[in-house]
């Protein structure tokens, strides 16, 4: 297994990719958090 630095260097690891959870509670909870941040 290659280490993290080697993976980053060789371009096989992309830490800035967007990852979206497949959990059914993710979107409603994310929406609620976003709305509360906008009102704050």
CA distances from residue 6 to 10, 15, 19, 24 in whole angstroms, order as listed: 6, 13, 21, 34
pLDDT, position 1:
58
Q: If you average pLDDT over every residue of the chain, what do you get?
A: 85
Handedness of CA 8, 4, 2, 20 (dihedral sign): negative
Q: Tell me the whole-structure pTM to 2 decimals.
A: 0.48
Task: Report the first-to-last Cα separation within the chain, whole angstroms.
Answer: 45
- State mean pLDDT over 8-27: 83
């Amino acid at each position: 297994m290659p280490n993290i630095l080697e993976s980053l260097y060789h371009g096989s690891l992309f830490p800035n990719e967007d990852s979206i959870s497949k959990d059914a509670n993710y979107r409603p909870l994310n929406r609620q958090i976003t709305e509360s941040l906008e009102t704050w």
